[in-house]
Amino acid sequence: MNAKLRTVAVVLGALLWASASAQQYPNKPIRFITVGGDDAIPRLVAQGLSSQLGQQVFVEEHAGASGTIGAEVASRAPADGYTFLVATSAHMVTHHFFKVSYDIVRDFEPVSLLASYPFVLLAHPSLPVRTVADLIKLAATKPGQLNYSATSAGSPTMLTFEMFKTSARVNIVHVPYKSVGAALTDVIAGQVHLCLTSIPSALPQIQAQRVRALAVSTPTRSTIVPDVPTFVEQGLPKVVTLAWSGLLAPARTASSTVVRMNAEVIKALRKPEVRERILALAMEPGGNTPEEFRANMKADLVTWAQAVKDANIPTVTQR
């Protein structure tokens, strides 16, 4: 065999090997890095993918620093299709408040949205308000006398309430809490007038009428609480935010792998039993293209950057 034929044989052999390797993906376990908090959705999706792919998909938690620790671990992982980050909408905000070694857009490839849900504005039943208009009117007569609970400065819940304050031009005092549960508990107890929190944590309390829901933060009404109007409906079109979790791969992961995982995730999310369990958790099932998910993330970055600026919160601290 002359040199030219040997070269052709080597090239063809390499192409065949690469093709075979791609077809064999995955051939070992896949890990989903989560960042703490409720990981019911990634575990549910991981279970579905394990049966579809014939390989275990396991969840590995790296909690702390508002999700930045887990994101840093995932950003340093090999881009081989065996490590994914379960990111949340909080990752669109955290770079304003923590020094991080990654860029959430540059260093990751979007795969698919997993689930989403709105934030909801709640009032203690003793507060004489039933609509956002009622609250604005009351706050205007009591500047600085009403208060609201939300997690720490810079959290999506706090920033969404600050967006409401800016749009409505009202002065309502933020009472910071370390956890969503504690923030909600004190509203139920009547120690704080208002709260802005997530639908999953608030739904049982709304249904039990321990709190009154005034508005949701999505652009259209949520199927979880269809009777609760949006901020948009109530004359505040700029108060639109969404909480979500989604799957990201480290940058430079092969496009064929991203496409494959996107298809498998959507397949899992469309299973009736998976969809029903997500809805039971008071969340909306996701499932979109990598391009759509990237566009959503970029739009979120713009929204939250403006919210941080309007709230005049000091940014970038050491972990």
Selection from 204, 253, 261, 289 nearest residue 78 by Cα: 253
- Topology match between the domains 3-117+242-311 and 119-216: yes
What is the token pair recorded at 135? Answer: 């609250």
Please give the mean pLDDT across all residues of the chain. Answer: 91
Pairwise pLDDT comparison (16 vs 38), residue with the higher score: 38
The 8-class DSSP code of residue 230 comes to: B
pTM (2 d.p.): 0.88
Q: How far is CA 162 from CA 2, 172, 195, 264, in A?
A: 74, 9, 12, 38
Assigned CATH for 119-216: 3.40.190.10
Q: Looking at residue 314, what is its pLDDT?
A: 82
Model confidence over 205-237: pLDDT tens digits?
999 999 999 999 999 999 999 999 999 999 999
Task: Over range 17-39, report the average pLDDT.
Answer: 79
3-117+242-311, superfamily in CATH?
Bordetella uptake gene, domain 1 (3.40.190.150)
Looking at the predicted structure, is the pLDDT value of residue 306 above 70? yes
Cα–Cα distance, 55 to 287 (Å, whole number) = 21
Q: Looking at residue 133, what is its pLDDT?
A: 98
Task: Over range 71-75, report the average pLDDT.
Answer: 97
Task: Over range 92-109, report the average pLDDT.
Answer: 94
Pairwise pLDDT comparison (317 vs 57), residue with the higher score: 57
* 8-22, 239-253, 260-274: the lowest-pLDDT one: 8-22
Looking at the predicted structure, is the pLDDT value of residue 315 above 90? no
Confidence of residue 316 (pLDDT cuts 50, 70, 90): low
Confidence of residue 313 (pLDDT cuts 50, 70, 90): confident
What is the token pair recorded at 161? Answer: 């309430």
Task: Over range 139-165, report the average pLDDT.
Answer: 94
Task: Over range 38-62, report the average pLDDT.
Answer: 95
Domain residue limits, the chain? 3-117+242-311, 119-216
Share of the chain above pLDDT 90, in %: 84
Cβ-count burial 140-169 (b if 16+ within 10 Å, e if not): eeeeeebbbbbbbbbbbbbbbbbbbbbbbe
Looking at the predicted structure, is the pLDDT value of residue 21 above 50? no
Pairwise pLDDT comparison (66 vs 118), residue with the higher score: 118
